[in-house]
Amino acid sequence: MNEASNFCTGACLKNQRSTSPIAAKLRYTPTGENIETKAIAMDAKHFNNYTELDAHSFYGTSQVAASSAWFAKNNKRPMIISRSSFAGHGKFGSMWLGDNHAAVDDMEISVLQIMTMNMLGVPLVGADICGFGGDSTTKELCARWHAVGAFYPFSRNHRACWGDAQEPWRFNNT
């Protein structure tokens, strides 16, 4: 996870809140949900007076670019996996699609998301097989997801620490 974030919704303190928030003026927000949930307020100012709205996704790609430059300077081959990306990201690193849920819909959409990132120049992309969050996965869903995930460019079974274990050998053979 490499995007600037916090565990407040927007500004943490009342005196940091804008009287005319940018987030309230947006015509469209992805998913239709509050884009400031666990994120820095879109009004926050960065270097050269850029707002968080303008810099949010660029921050992650900047981190990946700096890491890639360090590896190159030290004659090492990089393997950098990021969650946050911006245009040009694929030149510097790879990506995982972020938190998903143990649900058939999330397994299905992962294929489209991976192909989209491939078309946008990020060749090594993957999703959390069996789901990161949400309800616990089932034996059948996890088996199907592993079959699909075998064809992901980047493949891993990853789960939130509070969730049930979902390694394939943990399911009984009934």
Give CA 57 to chain center in angstroms.
10
The alpha-carbon radius of gyration of the chain (Å, integer) is 18
The per-residue DSSP string of 53-83 comes to HHHHHHHHHHHHHHHHHHHHHTT-----EES
Q: So what's the pLDDT on residue 67?
A: 96
Q: Is the per-residue pLDDT at 173 higher than 70?
A: no
d(CA 134, CA 74): 41
pLDDT digits (tens, 9 = 90+) for 39-84: 889 999 888 999 999 988 898 999 999 999 999 999 999 999 999 8
Greater confidence (54 vs 172) lies with: 54
Q: So what's the pLDDT on residue 71?
A: 97
pLDDT digits (tens, 9 = 90+) for 98-153: 889 999 999 999 999 999 999 999 999 999 999 998 878 899 999 999 999 999 99
Strand partners, 54: none
Q: So what's the pLDDT on residue 64?
A: 95
The residue-averaged pLDDT of 21-35 equals: 87
3 state DSSP class of 29: coil
Q: Is the pTM of this model over 0.85?
A: no
Task: Answer for the pair 71, 77: CB distance below 8 angstroms, yes or no.
Answer: yes
